[in-house]
């Protein structure tokens, strides 16, 4: 485990190749029930370049009229999200350093052209639990800032199989994905990158 600026914990190569392949299969199952969709930004209605879906009791969604929020159902199909796969629960228990259970797993799919602008994750009602991030597929250039948008930032390259834990003082840091590095992994046949973020949304009880 390596501690990055701001107290972000990184586990390089946490998942070996076989575990990464198994997790991709698990995510394919999730996507077959809860298809990836194009999220749009509040007010502007601008589409994001990342495609998304979720598993767990709650999922993070965004649309023009109702904005960023967690809800129990898929915004396109209306169906409940598929359950959190056991392997993801196990990873959360191993690295999360929290007694709380995860409630949501946001699945982000990046094409090699996709990006995610600098933002904070603050739609949750509980910040004592971390956000646990799992990277699969092509490498990316990840940027971590401070508690204010204007703060200086540090860039880190994340590889397939890496896990990053944003807990404690790092939970509310600004962060984003500046670029995907094409052809840096053979895990996903059609390229791109998958990021899974496990989250606790509600306070205990």
Report 119-138 residues binding ligand MD3 (CB under 6 A).
Answer: 121, 131, 133
Look at residues 196, 189, 71 and name the one whose alpha carbon lies nearest to residue 133.
196
Report 104-123 residues binding Fe ion (CB under 5 A).
Answer: 121
Which residue has the closest beta carbon to ligand MD3?
195
106 lines the binding site for ligand MD3 (CB under 6 A): yes
Q: Within 13 Å and on the Cβ side, how many CA atoms surround 45? A: 1
Q: How far apart are CA 182 and CA 11, in angstroms?
A: 22
Q: How far apart are CA 186 and CA 183, in angstroms?
A: 7
Binding mask 145-164 for ligand MD3 (x = CB under 6 A): -------------------x
Q: Which does 133 bind (CB under 5 to 8 A by kind): Fe ion, ligand MD3, none?
A: ligand MD3
Across the strands, what pairs with 70?
60
CB 130 within 8 A of CB 97: yes
- Counts of helices then strands in the chain (DSSP H, E): 2, 13
Q: How far apart are CA 186 and CA 138, in angstroms?
A: 8
Question: In whole angstroms, how close is the CB of 52 to ligand MD3 at the nearest point?
Answer: 8
Question: In whole angstroms, how close is the CB of 203 to ligand MD3 at the nearest point?
Answer: 18
Q: How far apart are CA 16 and CA 3, in angstroms?
A: 21
Report 168-187 residues binding ligand MD3 (CB under 6 A).
Answer: 170-171, 173, 175, 177
162 lines the binding site for Fe ion (CB under 5 A): no
Looking at the Cβ atoms of 103 and 121, the one nearer to Fe ion is 121
Q: Select from 53, 54, 160, 195 the one that contacts ligand MD3 (CB under 6 A).
A: 195
Q: Which does 185 bind (CB under 5 to 8 A by kind): ligand MD3, Fe ion, none?
A: none
CB 62 within 8 A of CB 42: yes
Residue written as tokens 């990836």?
36
Tokens for 151, please give them.
């703060």
Number of residues that bind ligand MD3 (CB under 6 A): 16
Q: Which does 58 bind (CB under 5 to 8 A by kind): Fe ion, ligand MD3, none?
A: none
Q: Which residue ranges make up the site for ligand MD3 (CB under 6 A)? A: 106, 108, 116, 121, 131, 133, 144, 164, 166, 170-171, 173, 175, 177, 195, 197
């Amino acid at each position: 485990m390596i501690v990055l600026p701001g107290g972000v914990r990184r586990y390089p190569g946490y998942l070996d190749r076989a575990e990464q392949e198994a997790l991709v299969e698990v995510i394919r199952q999730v996507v077959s029930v809860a298809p990836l969709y194009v999220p749009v930004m509040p007010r502007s209605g601008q589409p994001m370049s990342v495609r998304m879906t979720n598993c767990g009791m709650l999922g993070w969604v965004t649309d023009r009229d109702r904005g960023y929020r967690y809800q129990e159902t898929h915004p396109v199909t209306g169906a409940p999200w598929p359950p959190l796969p056991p392997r993801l629960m196990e990873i959360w228990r191993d690295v999360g350093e929290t007694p709380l259970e995860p409630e949501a797993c946001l699945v982000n799919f990046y094409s090699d052209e996709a990006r995610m602008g600098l933002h904070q994750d603050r739609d949750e009602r509980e910040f004592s639990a971390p956000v646990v991030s799992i990277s699969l597929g092509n490498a990316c250039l990840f940027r971590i800032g401070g508690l204010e948008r204007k703060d200086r930032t540090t860039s880190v390259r994340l590889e397939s199989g890496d896990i990053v834990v944003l807990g404690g003082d790092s939970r509310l840091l600004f962060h984003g994905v500046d670029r995907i590095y094409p052809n840096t992994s053979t895990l996903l046949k059609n390229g791109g990158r998958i990021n899974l973020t496990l989250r606790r949304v509600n306070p205990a009880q």
